[in-house]
Amino acid sequence: MGNHYCYLTLHYTVYDLTFLPPFCVNSLQLPLSLLKTAQGHPMLVELKNGETYNGHLVNCDTWMNIHLREVICTSKDGDRFWRMPECYIRGNTIKYLRVPDEVIDKVQEETKTRADRKPPGVGRGRGRGREEGAGGRQPKGIGRGLDDGGTKGAGGGRGKGGPSGKPGGNRGKSRSSLHGEVEADSDWWLELLQMDQVQLQCPCFLVHP
């Protein structure tokens, strides 16, 4: 039993260090997260060749490829215009994007709620109930984090499979309910299994091509 809780604590520490990239600590945002947050908003994109595209962002990816709807394209000289229902722009042709000012506030809100969702402290003195509560929520937190953080595209793909798609989702549920009701000694391996899964979702494990 004792060992079991030791593992859990370690687990949280690993999660904290790996999931949060070093720059998430301040109010620092990642440009691609901001872009993701700007989904649905109007924006102006200037390409390296000087053309500008005004439209609503439908989607974007980690290469900054973007999908716009209701687009007005303007030639470099600003004298010719084209309307098109949608267009897809390869990320590396972009010079800059101008996004509505309020988007930065949204992304800050999102990171804040993400921080709130983080397990509360890892102090030794914590009761075991607390740790379990956090443990139950945790896989969800990670899944979300990868999704809207979008730090690395690779992360998204692998990470998504875990909590919802695979048996992990079920396991997570039954696990937390089990812990809510009974403290079965035989459950510790389940926790370990879960831990493995969590680790698989951590960005640092996904850096290889």
Instruction: Report the nearest approach of other proteins to the CB of residue 209 (Å).
Output: 15
Q: Give the nearer residue to other proteins in terms of CB position, either 9 or 74.
A: 74
- Block residue for tokens 């924006």: 43
Closest to 115 (Cα-Cα) out of 28, 24, 37: 24
Instruction: Report the nearest approach of other proteins to the CB of residue 80 (Å).
Output: 10
Q: Give the nearer residue to other proteins in terms of CB position, either 77 or 196.
A: 77
Q: Cβ distance 8 to 198 under 8 Å?
A: no
Q: Give the nearer residue to other proteins in terms of CB position, either 113 or 177.
A: 113
Half-sphere exposure of 146 (CA within 13 A, CB side): 29
Instruction: Report the nearest approach of other proteins to the CB of residue 78 (Å).
Output: 3
Instruction: Report the nearest approach of other proteins to the CB of residue 177 (Å).
Output: 40
Q: Give the nearer residue to other proteins in terms of CB position, either 97 or 195.
A: 97
Q: 160: which residues sit within 8 A by CB, 6+ positions away?
A: 143, 146, 147
- Residues in contact with other proteins by the rule CB under 8 A: 23, 26-35, 44, 46, 48-52, 54, 64, 74, 76-79, 91-92, 94-101, 103-104
The whole-angstrom separation of Cα 56 and Cα 71 is 7
The whole-angstrom separation of Cα 99 and Cα 68 is 13
